[in-house]
Structure 1
Amino acid sequence: MKQKKTLQILLLVFAGLIVLYTGVNLYQKQQSYKEDSDQTMVSDLKSLTSISYNNNGTTLSFIKQNGKWYYTKNKKYPITQSSLESLASTFQKVEAVRELKNADALSDYGLDKPTYTVSVKDKTGKSMTYYIGNATGENYYVTYGDKSKIYTVSSDITSSLSYSLDNLIETDTFPTLSTGNLKKVLVTQNGKTKTYTSKKKNLDGISGGLGVFTFGDCQNYYASQTDLVKYGLDKDSRITIDITYKDTDTKKTKNVVLYIGKKDSDQKNYYVQLKGSHMVYLSDKDVVKNILNP
């Protein structure tokens, strides 16, 4: 009799535990749903047509026209489109991790003097200004407009805001060259041309210089004719390196022309430019000498 009573008690306890577990599980789901519902869209704009943000005290502004992004102060600068599209995507739709209820003063979140200020406008003409303050764990405090609401958002929002203008300029690239893929190099200087080919078996020396050639710092993003004269890159002064090579990826024969100008004031680099480009760079003098005197 006692065993039967003990079994009944155990069954009741077990049933109670099941009810308790079900209740806890339901509560957790409700809390999870509540937490998810706390997430809200800070903004949900249409396609952006302008963006500006401050970077180390300098404000950078960009405008999109006919599907292309431009630097507002100088539309001739070749802006990397993928970087601006990524930036636009970040601030077109901003989702909060949570909204702070009964928030303290803006200064408590670094929003009285924001680390970043970002202003955008979409294709409908709607404008919005975001203010980004202190970090909090993996998130940042953000407000916008009249600063009446404060949110936390993912730290991803700041990933592109440290970019300077130089980071956003799309610079030229120089092909990968070696004895294996060089076909012919013509070096024209002072009206005289020297030819290097595999048939002449004189490519080894010049391929050493071309194989390590790189563009250094960009000195001018859109050089005028007056600038070119200053750099020794005008038609009458420059040295022309006409290169025919086999592209290692496409296996197609291609051509690239490199211009070499004067040395810079430190005498450590040469001014160089690619044919068809408006950009002027510096390149190490020893590398250039290996091309000119292989």
Structure 2
Amino acid sequence: MRQKKTLMILILVFAGLLALYAGITFYQKNQSARKISSGQLTVKNMKAITSISYNNGQDLSFVKKDGTWYYEKDSAYPLEQSYLNTMASQFQKITAVRRLKNGDSLKDYGLEKPAYTIKVKDKEGTKTTYYIGNASGDNYYLTLDDKSEIYTVSADLLSNLSYSLKDMMKTDTFPSLSSGNLKKVVITGSGKKKTYTSKSKTDMDNIAGGLGVFTFGDCQNYSVKDKELSKYGLDSKSRISVDITYKDTDSKKTKNLTLYIGSKDKDKENYYVQLKGSKMVYLSDADVVKNILEP
């Protein structure tokens, strides 16, 4: 009889432990679900964004036409599309970390005079204005349109807003060159022509000393007109042409490009340079350019 009682007690204790475990598991799942739900609280869900404007120290406004983003004040400005594509995706659908209930005044959250005011429009013509205020830990306060609701949102939403227009410029790229992948270089200008080929290792090593470290500096004109080329010494009569044949390190294919070298800037520390086929004029370090012209 005593053994039966002991067994019954053990069964009841075991059942109680099972119930307790089930209760704890349910609570944890419920709390987890609440956290996920609160992290996915939708503030706004728009169609594809077609215009974005804001001020981050300068007024910036962009429009999307035929799948391409343009700077509204100058459609010729070369924009790196990834900045605007990311921004449009972020503001198309905004999810909040939480929504404030019975909050204080807008001033208390930096929303009376917000750090950012972002105006967007989607392809259906729906317009929305977002206001971003003070930081709240790893998040920021946000409200929109009539400012009737206040939310906290991830700081990721601000990731692209701090970039200047210059930061978002899409510039030309210059390939990685060395004596190992250079095949031929022809320099023409001032009535002279000099050819370097891979048949001479010394020639290639010398010319690679300049071309291997060449980079584009600050852009001086992103949409140069033919009539403007002469002030940079880049008109056809004045410029020096550097025709380069090389083996691309990624595709392993033989490629060609032409670099134009113009006059020095007023400080004599840089040369004006341009890639053939590009509308962009850059500065490049005078010592590096000299090593190309006089290897």
Asked if residue 169 in structure 1 is aligned to residue 161 in structure 2, the reply is no
What residue is the counterpart of 1:27 in the other structure? 27
What residue is the counterpart of 1:187 in the other structure? 187
What residue is the counterpart of 2:67 in the other structure? 67
Per mean C-alpha deviation after superposition, the further-off stretch among 247-256 and 279-288 is: 247-256
Q: Deviations over 1:152-181 (max 9, x none)?
A: 111111111111111111100111111121
What residue is the counterpart of 2:83 in the other structure? 83
What residue is the counterpart of 1:100 in the other structure? 100
Looking at structure 2, the residues matched to 250 and 18 of structure 1 have their Cα atoms a distance apart, in angstroms, of: 63
| Deviation beyond 6 Å, 4+ runs, structure 1 | 1-4
> What is the deviation of 1:8?
5.2
What amino acid maps onto 1:63 in structure 2? V
**Residues 16 and 167 of structure 1: is their aligned pair in 2 closer, same or farther, counting only changes over 3 Å?**
same
> What is the deviation of 1:136?
1.6
What residue is the counterpart of 1:54 in the other structure? 55
SS in 2 for 1:168: coil
What residue is the counterpart of 2:137 in the other structure? 137
Identity %: 66
Looking at structure 2, the residues matched to 30 and 203 of structure 1 have their Cα atoms a distance apart, in angstroms, of: 69
What residue is the counterpart of 2:282 in the other structure? 281
SS in 2 for 1:185: strand
Looking at structure 1, the residues matched to 198 and 21 of structure 2 have their Cα atoms a distance apart, in angstroms, of: 81
What amino acid maps onto 2:30 in structure 1? Q
Looking at structure 2, the residues matched to 25 and 247 of structure 1 have their Cα atoms a distance apart, in angstroms, of: 58
What residue is the counterpart of 1:293 in the other structure? 294
> What is the deviation of 1:9?
5.2
Looking at structure 2, the residues matched to 203 and 265 of structure 1 have their Cα atoms a distance apart, in angstroms, of: 32
SS in 1 for 2:282: strand
Looking at structure 2, the residues matched to 147 and 156 of structure 1 have their Cα atoms a distance apart, in angstroms, of: 21
**Residues 203 and 35 of structure 1: is their aligned pair in 2 closer, same or farther, counting only changes over 3 Å?**
closer
Looking at structure 1, the residues matched to 36 and 194 of structure 2 have their Cα atoms a distance apart, in angstroms, of: 71
1:247-258 aligned at under 5 Å gives the runs 247-258=248-259
Per mean C-alpha deviation after superposition, the further-off stretch among 10-19 and 222-231 is: 10-19
Looking at structure 2, the residues matched to 25 and 248 of structure 1 have their Cα atoms a distance apart, in angstroms, of: 56
Per mean C-alpha deviation after superposition, the further-off stretch among 32-41 and 188-197 is: 32-41
What amino acid maps onto 1:242 in structure 2? D
- Size of the aligned set, in residue pairs, is 293
> What is the deviation of 1:17?
4.2
SS in 1 for 2:166: helix
Per mean C-alpha deviation after superposition, the further-off stretch among 258-267 and 11-20 is: 11-20
C-alpha root-mean-square deviation of aligned residues, in Å?
2.0
SS in 1 for 2:86: helix
Looking at structure 1, the residues matched to 22 and 58 of structure 2 have their Cα atoms a distance apart, in angstroms, of: 57
SS in 2 for 1:140: strand
Looking at structure 1, the residues matched to 113 and 10 of structure 2 have their Cα atoms a distance apart, in angstroms, of: 64
**Residues 29 and 230 of structure 1: is their aligned pair in 2 closer, same or farther, counting only changes over 3 Å?**
same
**Residues 5 and 121 of structure 1: is their aligned pair in 2 closer, same or farther, counting only changes over 3 Å?**
same
> What is the deviation of 1:143?
0.8
Q: Deviations over 1:212-268 (max 9, x none)?
A: 111111111111234321111111111111111111222211111111111111111
What amino acid maps onto 2:96 in structure 1? A
**Residues 35 and 222 of structure 1: is their aligned pair in 2 closer, same or farther, counting only changes over 3 Å?**
same
Q: Deviations over 1:21-76 (max 9, x none)?
A: 43343334334334444442111111111111222x21211111011111111111
What amino acid maps onto 1:182 in structure 2? L
**Residues 264 and 28 of structure 1: is their aligned pair in 2 closer, same or farther, counting only changes over 3 Å?**
same
Per mean C-alpha deviation after superposition, the further-off stretch among 176-185 and 60-69 is: 176-185
Per mean C-alpha deviation after superposition, the further-off stretch among 227-236 and 145-154 is: 227-236
What residue is the counterpart of 1:41 in the other structure? 42
